[in-house]
Structure 1
Amino acid sequence: MAAIVAPTSQTCPASLPPSVFTLPQTAQLEALFTIIRDKDTPRGEFLFYSDRIIRLLVEEGLNHLPVIPKTVQTPTGATYEGVGFEGKICGVSILRAGEAMEAGLREVCRSVRIGKILIQRDEETTQPKLFYSKFPQDIASRYVLLLDPMLATGGSAIKAVEVLKEHGVPEERIIFINLISAPEGLRNFCSKFPQTRVITGWIDKGLNEKAYIIPGLGDFGERRYCE
């Protein structure tokens, strides 16, 4: 009988900002991450297993939305004192890799509105620059699930939240969801927006000299969309 191996250690969440939350670090979760990290994993399997992780992340993100008391009548004629979500939500994906997380959101939230934002590095200033954004007209009154698979330095995510705030979204109504984070990016992001919650699947060791997440999984968008 094979031995049960404990999940590989990662950056301790206790050493990170209190607004950072990880998925339960189970052996199953590490097995899923091992598959998508493997450079030899075929694209079809990469899609399937990354989608499984994204679904778990979206479910966890919904756990952080506020609820209010709600009373309903059951088919037995009884009254049930339950809860309902406090307000409307929407997703905002950071293009292009963030689009891969939209299906996972739609699977658990019927008819959810989704906005898009394109941020790229300005070659002259080396700073993140907004190139395109399109949001629901009433986004200021919604809770926003910001979607991007990888958090490296945090520059794109920070710029995305700045744009959302410019459109009237309070930072405490934003939940940033990603698969893999670098500690440097988490600290950078959370120091800028301490009221925005971050839901991440795994916290890696850090960044190398090229600002790539190590061990990471490579370019998520390339592996997702390119044959």
Structure 2
Amino acid sequence: MTEFVLVAGAWLGSSAWDEVVPGLRAAGHGAHPVTLSGVGEKQGMPVGRQSHVADIVDEVERLGLRDVVLVGHSYAGIPVGQAAERIGERLARVVFVDACVPADGESFVSTWWQGPAALESAIDGNGGFWSPPTAPEFEGQGLTDEQTARIVSAATPHPGASLSDPAVLSGALGGLPATYVKCLLDGPEPTDDVVGLLAGECWELVTMETGHWPMYSRPDELVSILTGAAGAS
């Protein structure tokens, strides 16, 4: 039995996986959605250096999990990629769902596609938090109105301290067994750093004809991809 540890991206807590968890459990696997400090039901919790990495590692160790597939969506790919190093032999595979990947010494903010200053300004202007998107910003992502409403209602401001936290990696990320899930409505190609990792022997690419939020838009298909990734471990 594979133990899936599921971590959603910015603004979202464990409820993001509500339509994925039942499918994984029905397939005979463990499914453990994690809410990171400072978001969702953990709003107000302090966030400092490596807090989100610790959230993930602590959950694996608290539950005594083995044969672990860590799943990181969007921003959460950064703490998940670091946590994958920390859990050692407990790790079976990492799945990055349309996610950022960590680079030693770099943060989510430092690699922001519009430039660090743009995101820093947005965070500073909102009291140190990144505001969740509004409903119109989800257009073109393959979501129904109901799915968009669920995301918007669940989203909470994201603590800027985690977004500016530099990643700490002791080894080469490309050496980890990994699956990268590219959601094609959010862009037809992975970013250059992911392309480089996919060129190695340990990473595989899977594509989905949906947008950046497949746990909402295509949960059953995502379950199939995750269980397939577990089988590849």
Say yes or no: TM over 0.5.
no
Larger Rg: 1
Which structure carries more strand by proportion?
A: 1
Which structure carries more helix by proportion?
A: 2
